[in-house]
Amino acid sequence: MYGEIPLAVALEGLGKKVHLANLSFSDLRRTPLEDWLSPGVAAVNPETAGNDDYFPERSLARWLDGTGREAIVYAFAKSGVQPLRSAYSALVEHLDVDALVLVDGGTDILLRGDESGLGTPQEDMTSLAAVAGLHGLNRLVVSVGFGIDAYHGVCHAHVLENLAALQRENAFLGALSIPPAGPEAAAYTAAVTHALTETPLRPTIVHSQIADALRGEFGNIHATTRTTGTKLFVNPFMAMYLTVDLPALARTIEYLPLLDPTEHPYQVAQLIEAHLTSRPNPRPATLIPH
């Protein structure tokens, strides 16, 4: 979710209206009825009731409020593809948006399904499948944090190979750096610092690393004890957006059509696990030559 901030700030600078949303890991059962825009999507504000130890949508809304921006972050409840698509459709209609950008903190969303490791694909693929079924608006996928998923066993040579395949289809739309001295980076690092202060017991692994990359750190740098015992790969490419055409990406995910009928997140997890165990010859992990 916080990976949206530099892009949002850049778009605001171009005069665009930007709305922030997230497929939530929070327990939204305490969210008041009046804050629900539609089944499956809530409009979270700085005062929305919820868990005090972990409610990143509310934390971000509070940071937005402190900067004078619109202090609403839309939170999608965890579900299968069909309810999430309905929630997205309701939000698109409510906000009258003409473009939708899925932002992945990491690179799991770029994996096709034939790799030796898929990272943590459940939420990414639920979102991708849900939005792939929407029409009448521009749809993009943006990945920020190249190298983060080494923590989850992703082979980044596979990520580059997949981007090359998308480029052959004119679906890899290029890369954008986050200028470390610009307003985009300043807003991002301030928001991440605010989030770490609000939820000290659940510091963000992904955005701590991206913030470290923006500061020029490199290698096995640990900003939180949550990653103790693992080898990280903090690098300058973490602070870079990789952009692809969403419908074209969706067509490359070999198991994505299987997820389309799902109603519940456990069904998505089961189908992905079944796919993993049924693959005869996954692409073996390989090093990036250097």
For residue 51, the 8-state DSSP code is -
**DSSP codes of every residue in 184-213:** HHHHHHHHHHHHHHH-TTS--HHHHHHHHH
How large is the average pLDDT for residues 195-214?
A: 91
What pLDDT does 118 receive? 87
Contact 139, 92 (CB under 8 A): no
Q: How confident is the model at residue 139 (pLDDT cuts 50, 70, 90)?
A: very high
Cα distances from 93 to residues 27, 100, 136, 173, 195, in angstroms, run 25, 12, 11, 27, 30
Half-sphere exposure of 198 (CA within 13 A, CB side): 20
pLDDT above 90 for 273 = yes
What pLDDT does 237 receive? 94
Half-sphere exposure of 269 (CA within 13 A, CB side): 6
pLDDT above 90 for 285 = no
Q: How confident is the model at residue 288 (pLDDT cuts 50, 70, 90)?
A: confident
Residues 6+ apart with CB under 8 A from 37: 43, 74, 90, 91, 94
What the block records as the tokens of 106 is 């990491």
What pLDDT does 290 receive? 60
From the number of C-beta atoms within 10 Å of its C-beta (0-12, 13-18, 19+), residue 64 rates as buried
What pLDDT does 1 receive? 85
How large is the average pLDDT for residues 56-71?
A: 97
Read off the pLDDT of residues 161-185 as tens digits, 9 standing for 90 and up: 999 999 999 999 999 999 999 999 9
Q: How confident is the model at residue 117 (pLDDT cuts 50, 70, 90)?
A: confident
How large is the average pLDDT for residues 201-206?
A: 88
Q: How confident is the model at residue 47 (pLDDT cuts 50, 70, 90)?
A: very high
Characterise 29 by phi-psi region: left (phi > 0), alpha (psi -120 to 50), beta (else): alpha
Question: Which amino acid is located at 26 in the chain?
Answer: S
What pLDDT does 202 receive? 87
Angle between helices 265-278 and 122-132 (to 10 degrees): 110
Q: What is the mean pLDDT of the chain?
A: 94
Q: How confident is the model at residue 216 (pLDDT cuts 50, 70, 90)?
A: very high
Q: Percent of the chain at pLDDT above 90? A: 82
